[in-house]
């Protein structure tokens, strides 16, 4: 096995390679310049001699880089590679066909001799896989701490009753109960000109629980047919109704977002309202909202218990604010809890299907109609717009619909 030396001479980020001339055993191949080691000669001395003989230059030999063994067709060599610095003389082509200064990243474009190919890998920058892997590993190790910090921050957020509320959320309803006598404070009965322009009227009203007739369900859709806002209204006879809507309590200028609702951005409130407020707001002034009205099969006794459940809920929210949660504490699962129904039934989560669920359970007055027929005639937007500010608004939006007896239009 022959022992051969080779030099990596660098200049301006490039290295020198030389092409073997015609007639040579490796004619046309490119190599790092050098030569055969003579007996008793050190590799460094060999390189200085060969570079002076073949190119006429003086050099200073530096650090050892690597060794490479290769089996050519007629001989086997061990190549010893060192760094070298050009210190004198101009390069002459004494024993080669050509020389070239090449960036290490471009060496693969040249037809290198077999023993020289492994040297290229030593000259290229080390792959960045390991630092990247360490960075990813460090990031993964930090994730639990980041999550814990985020969770701690989230849990530290406290709901408040003292914010710059939108005018329609400035007050929260509360009630006093004395036997059958219920007095509800801050009943909202706004006179709307547009959704955001209105005359504010906050009222105190009294109700006699012995006169409660039942419970009516309203579902308002604005986007997906699977999601609806739920309003429950209670008739007391003589055209008197009180509607309850559990919803977000928003600050001035704040818009609703399902996504933000996951992150303790809104407080929860229970609105007690006149139907000309709770219904007309959705049918007459908000764009793209469609409302459906059903008479439930609730008995007066059940309706009374449901009404008192709402009273308990609104008093609790008035005394101690809570966060709204898009999935965990929204209008629908609050209504389900008040009614003693499972909060996590998929038809409760997808509140837009609540009417179909109640129809299947026999909890809606149907007048013998199929669900599709009942739902079609339950749509009240046109009737609400026609009734508008009429004193008998509630009677008009119910007239002619299944479950609402004509003789008791005021129920």
Residue for token digits 């109609």? 369
Q: Are 381 and 291 in contact (CB under 8 A)?
A: yes
Three-state DSSP state, 331: helix
The DSSP-derived string for 157-185 is ----S-S-B-GGGSS--EEEEETTEEEEE
Residue for token digits 């990813």? 136
Number of neighbouring beta carbons within 10 Å of residue 179:
8
| Helices (runs of H) and strands (runs of E) counted in the chain | 12, 17
Retrieve residue 124's tokens.
């290229």
The per-residue pLDDT for 45 is 95
Which residues lie across from 60 on neighbouring strands? 85
Residue 68 makes CB contacts below 8 A (sequence gap 6+) with 78, 79, 81, 115, 116, 118, 119
The per-residue pLDDT for 408 is 42
Q: Look up the pTM and report it.
A: 0.65
The per-residue pLDDT for 111 is 94
Q: Are 408 and 300 in contact (CB under 8 A)?
A: no
The per-residue pLDDT for 141 is 81
**Which among 65, 66, 69, 79 has a CA at the least distance from the CA of 36?**
79
DSSP state for residue 112 in the 8-state scheme? B
Task: State the burial class of residue 292 (Cβ atoms within 10 Å of its Cβ: 0-12, 13-18, 19+).
Answer: buried
Retrieve residue 276's tokens.
């000309």
Residue for token digits 């050190």? 42
Torsion angle of C-alpha atoms 116, 120, 122, 124, degrees rounded to 10:
170
Q: Are 232 and 218 in contact (CB under 8 A)?
A: yes
The per-residue pLDDT for 143 is 83
Q: How far apart are CA 70 and CA 79, in angstroms?
A: 8
The per-residue pLDDT for 410 is 45
The per-residue pLDDT for 407 is 41
The per-residue pLDDT for 409 is 42
Q: How far apart are CA 345 and CA 305, in angstroms?
A: 22
Q: Are 352 and 358 in contact (CB under 8 A)?
A: no
DSSP state for residue 282 in the 8-state scheme? I
The per-residue pLDDT for 131 is 64
pLDDT < 70 positions in the chain: 126-132, 154, 347, 406-411
Retrieve residue 16's tokens.
């020198």
Q: How far apart are CA 116 and CA 32, in angstroms?
A: 7
Q: What angle (nearest 5°) sits at the alpha carbon of residue 169, between those of residues 208 and 383?
A: 65
């Amino acid at each position: 096995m022959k022992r051969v030396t080779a030099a990596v001479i660098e200049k301006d980020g490039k290295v020198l390679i030389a092409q073997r001339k015609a007639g040579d055993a490796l004619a046309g191949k490119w190599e790092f310049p050098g030569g055969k080691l003579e007996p008793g000669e050190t590799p460094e001395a060999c390189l200085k001699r060969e570079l002076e003989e073949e190119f006429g230059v003086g050099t200073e030999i530096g650090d050892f880089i690597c060794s490479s063994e290769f089996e050519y067709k007629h001989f086997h060599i061990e190549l010893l590679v060192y760094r070298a610095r050009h210190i004198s003389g101009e390069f002459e082509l004494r024993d080669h066909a050509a020389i070239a200064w090449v960036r290490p990243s471009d060496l693969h474009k040249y037809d290198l001799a077999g023993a020289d190919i492994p040297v290229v890998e030593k000259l290229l920058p080390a792959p960045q896989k390991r630092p990247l892997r360490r960075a990813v590993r460090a990031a993964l190790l930090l994730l639990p701490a980041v999550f814990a910090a985020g969770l701690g921050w989230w849990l530290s957020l406290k709901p408040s009753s003292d914010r710059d509320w939108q005018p329609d959320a400035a007050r929260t309803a509360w009630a006093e109960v004395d036997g059958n006598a219920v007095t509800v404070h801050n009943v909202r009965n706004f006179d709307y000109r547009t959704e955001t322009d209105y005359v504010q009227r906050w009222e105190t009203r009294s109700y006699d629980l012995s006169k409660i007739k039942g419970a009516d369900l309203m579902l308002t859709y604005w986007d997906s047919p699977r999601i609806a806002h739920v309003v429950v209204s209670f008739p007391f006879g003589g055209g008197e109704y009180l509607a309850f809507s559990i919803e977000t309590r928003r600050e001035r200028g704040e818009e609703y977002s399902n996504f933000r609702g996951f992150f303790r951005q809104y407080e929860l409130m229970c609105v007690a309202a006149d139907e000309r407020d709770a219904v007309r707001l959705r049918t007459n002034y908000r764009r793209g909202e469609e409302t459906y009205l059903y008479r439930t099969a609730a008995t007066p006794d059940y309706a009374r218990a449901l009404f008192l459940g709402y009273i308990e809920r609104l008093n609790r929210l008035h005394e101690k604010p809570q966060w709204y949660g898009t999935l965990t504490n929204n209008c629908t699962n609050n209504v389900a809890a008040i009614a003693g129904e499972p909060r996590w039934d998929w038809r409760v989560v997808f509140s837009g299907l609540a009417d179909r669920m109640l129809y299947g359970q026999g909890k809606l007055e149907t007048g013998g109609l199929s669900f599709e027929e009942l739902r079609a005639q339950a749509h009240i937007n046109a009737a609400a717009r026609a009734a508008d500010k009429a004193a008998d608004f509630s009677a008009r939006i119910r007239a002619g619909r299944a479950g609402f007896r004509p003789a008791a239009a005021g129920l």
